[in-house]
Structure 1
Amino acid sequence: GTLMAGGKNVILDRFNPQHTLDLIQDPKVTLLGAFPPILATLLDLIETETFDLSSLEIVAGLEMPETVKKWEAKTGSTFWTMYGQTETSGLISFSEYFKQPGSAGEISLLAFVQIVDDLDTFLPMNTMGEIVLKGPLVFQGYWNAPELNEHTFREGWHHTGDLGMIDSDGFLFFKGRKAERELIKPGGENVFPAEVEKAILQHEAVENVIVFGVPDPKFGEGIKAVIALHPGKKLIKEELIAFTGSLIAGYKKPRYIEFIDQLPKTEDGSIDRIKVKTDFS
């Protein structure tokens, strides 16, 4: 959109706080996209050095309330929250952060959004369920994946795999991922629990593991692993983190680890993921 309007996009190959603030000053950036811990890191540098950020009007993304308050007070820019997916080609909801605290913004006029239960029955306002939508922003489907497309677009709606609700004022609230589509986003990165679990299970001492996302003061969301070891085996957190980091990308390593004697099971003998998350979040 910026390029089509004759504007300029400034793209960094990696985040560097000094370089980011320098680029906001010149060429006078007006909009900045940010995910934790970008703003907190920039604020630390602003406390020690002087930068002219007067050109910056909007910061858009996800962040903690206290960080947003501090950022807006320091810079004079306004933080906007939002919700969207790659599959929606853009934003489904957006608004100023404090217009409806805790929400992901007002639903776009280009999106028809509903909340459904597991049977795809539409749910009333203020009721949590899966976010589904229609509209010109929704993609045409996954390449060469007819079964996945049939499941994703059942009943004619794009099923996001995200949980949420819509309040009486038309604000969308994001409540997390459905169990079968679970995704952890530390610092804006995408991490699938199954990939982390597969890496951890390669350690000879590990019998079972469940990985899920937990609140993190620096990255917004952190990766936690709850682990049961084989009888008689011992393992310390630091060793497991290093081992996992040797198999997968560093940002996918669990920051939080808890060892227990045995993971809870369901009646059919499978690990009870919901109970693990409830008991150890």
Structure 2
Amino acid sequence: MDEHGDSGDGGGIGGIGDFLRSRRARIQPDEVGLPGHGRRRVPGLRREEVAQLAGVSVDYYIRLEQGRGPSVSDAVLDAVARVLRLDDTETAYLRSVARPARTRRRAPARPAGQQVRPGLKLLLATIEKAPAFVLGRRMDVLAWNALGDALVGFSAMAPKERNMPRQVFLNPAARDLYPEWPAVAAETVAYLRLDAGLHPKDPQLATLVGELSLASEDFRRLWADHQVKEKTYGAKRMTHPVAGELAMPYETLTVSGEPDQALVVYTPEPGSVTEERLRFLGSWAATVPAAE
């Protein structure tokens, strides 16, 4: 509950209220030129202080934080983002949760369920030297190439388990696969939170968040932190039971015409130990019978 006695939110799993409250809590009054003395019931900036610094009325800001401002302008959102020192991804997330009907991305009509078009599957098959896979909504893994399967074992998983958050938080082997598991876990939740901002009324996403929250204290803590992050590029360290230690840069490419799908490709350095070990992993996997 906020210091004003209101716990309302913008509704849905991507609600605006908790996000803005978490961002207010990060900023101390003296950081923005306000007096920091006096008793405060909550950390960080008060609502009226954000409103003052953003140049809007307190009532207007309260309605925004309660999710009652669907017609809020870009200028007001930019002012709030400036006061709360949001980065570009956080600002885009704020716009999504403040005006979900206006910012929702539309995909072409298609049959129920997430579909990977045949051409994209063929493209995956042509990537032979690097693990690659397609991520969809809720970070579901929709398709993969042979080396991606050898690395992570997607084909051996039940369809429901082909989901990166489930694997990171519910599969005990993930902590062995990712030596820097805390960083991987935090990034995974930040990506999932961004998806929630785009699709706040998604019942399947709500179910996933609920299951992970019940099963994992780490997930609950990270989800409550309201971090958001785009999946673009980076690097992971992995320890595979067959290939050993791997240094795995990756690139994430949005699939043209499929706004909720992304192609993730691990890109080992040419001539590196990791490239050699992945080559060995691919040869090994080719000799192992396919999972039933």
Could you say which TM-score interval applies, normalised by the shorter chain? Answer: under 0.3
- For normalisation by structure 1, the TM-score amounts to 0.24
Q: Greater relative contact order (Cα 8 A, min sep 6): structure 1 or 2? A: 2
- For normalisation by structure 2, the TM-score amounts to 0.24
Select the structure that is richer in helix: 2
